[in-house]
């Protein structure tokens, strides 16, 4: 298995531009998570999906952020318009619920390093 | 605020020594997990300990959990230079037994020198 795939790996953009980050979870996983990591705030959960449905988006910082999961193999995180304070590494992770009891080990992608100038 | 707080924030040891990292959390948990993050990479799951377990081993890793003190420790024995990374604890506070979100701690940066 190729693991969780994220693209692009690096993104540099100017303030005000739209940014779209992409994620392909591990095949068969039914949970998908978007995180943001910064030195100041550490690793923050932004939103997570179960079976393509958003379950908890309480971590999404503001309306400029949106996430979609149109199918089981693809998700996007969009920032519009982007601001310098959005600069961070964004991780996507997936996990699987197996049987009646799951311990939701999460598998992380390599991350997208976003720089907003 | 973060559910888990790791201690120390940074640790520097020599190869062959043992490394101990601690994690404290605030609420009741279903399980606690430890992850490693190498520089510039995503997090990698190391080990999971359930709330009804007190100790668990995996290779050179030993994890303990004290739910009365709301704390956990990760011991890496006979450390190697390749163990240099940041280590995070993550807590699952769900009470349904279904997959849900994890809350990650602040991390411990471990440096293992030759």
Check A103 against B48: CB less than 8 A apart: yes
Query: What local confidence, expressed as pLDDT, does residue B109 receive?
Result: 96
Query: What local confidence, expressed as pLDDT, does residue B11 receive?
Result: 95
Query: What local confidence, expressed as pLDDT, does residue A100 receive?
Result: 46
Q: Give a three-class secondary structure readout of chain A.
A: CCCCEEECCEEEECCCCCEEEEEECCCCCCEEEEEEEECCCEEEEEEEEECCEEEECCCCCCCCEEEEEEECCEEEEEECCCCHHHCEEEEEEEECCCCCCCCCCCEECCCEEEEEC
Confidence of residue A98 (pLDDT cuts 50, 70, 90): low
pLDDT reading at B20 higher than 50: yes
Mean local confidence (pLDDT), A106-114? 95
B57 part of contact set with chain A, CB < 8 Å: no
To the nearest whole angstrom, how far is the Cα of A65 from the nearest Cα of chain B? 19
Task: Find the CB nearest A110 among B33, B42, B100.
Answer: B42
Tokens 């693809």: give the residue. A74
Give residue-wise pLDDT tens across range B44-103. 999 999 999 999 999 999 999 999 999 999 999 999 999 999 999 999 877 655 556 788
Query: What local confidence, expressed as pLDDT, does residue B1 receive?
Result: 36
Q: What is the percent of chain A with per-residue pLDDT over 90, rounded to a whole number?
A: 79
Query: What local confidence, expressed as pLDDT, does residue B98 receive?
Result: 52
Measured between beta carbons, the chain B residues lying within 8 angstroms of A38 are none
Q: What is the percent of chain A with per-residue pLDDT over 70, rounded to a whole number?
A: 93
A-B contacts at Cβ under 8 angstroms: 60
Confidence of residue A13 (pLDDT cuts 50, 70, 90): very high
- Tell me if residue B75 falls in helix, strand or coil: strand
Query: What local confidence, expressed as pLDDT, does residue B52 receive?
Result: 93
B6 part of contact set with chain A, CB < 8 Å: no
Query: What local confidence, expressed as pLDDT, does residue B93 receive?
Result: 79
């Amino acid at each position: 298995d190729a693991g969780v795939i994220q693209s692009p790996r690096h993104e540099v953009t100017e303030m005000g531009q739209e940014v779209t980050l992409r994620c392909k979870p591990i095949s068969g996983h039914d949970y998908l998570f978007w995180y943001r990591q910064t030195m100041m705030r550490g690793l923050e959960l932004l939103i997570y999906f179960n079976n393509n449905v958003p379950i908890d988006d309480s971590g999404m910082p503001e309306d400029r952020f949106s996430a979609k999961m149109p199918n089981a193999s693809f998700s996007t995180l969009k920032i519009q318009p982007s601001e310098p304070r959005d600069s961070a590494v964004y991780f996507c992770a997936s996990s699987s619920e197996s049987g009646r009891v799951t311990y939701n080990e999460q598998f992380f992608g390599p991350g997208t390093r976003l720089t907003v100038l | 605020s973060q559910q888990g707080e790791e201690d120390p924030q940074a640790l520097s040891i020599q190869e062959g020594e043992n490394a101990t990292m601690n994690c404290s959390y605030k609420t009741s948990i279903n399980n606690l997990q430890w992850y490693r993050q190498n520089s510039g990479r995503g997090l990698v799951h190391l080990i999971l300990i359930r709330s009804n377990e007190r100790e668990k081993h995996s290779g050179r890793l030993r994890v303990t959990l004290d739910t009365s003190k709301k704390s956990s420790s990760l011991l890496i024995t006979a450390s190697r230079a390749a163990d240099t990374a940041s280590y995070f604890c993550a807590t699952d506070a769900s009470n349904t037994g279904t997959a849900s979100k994890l809350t990650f701690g602040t991390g411990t940066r471990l440096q293992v020198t030759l």
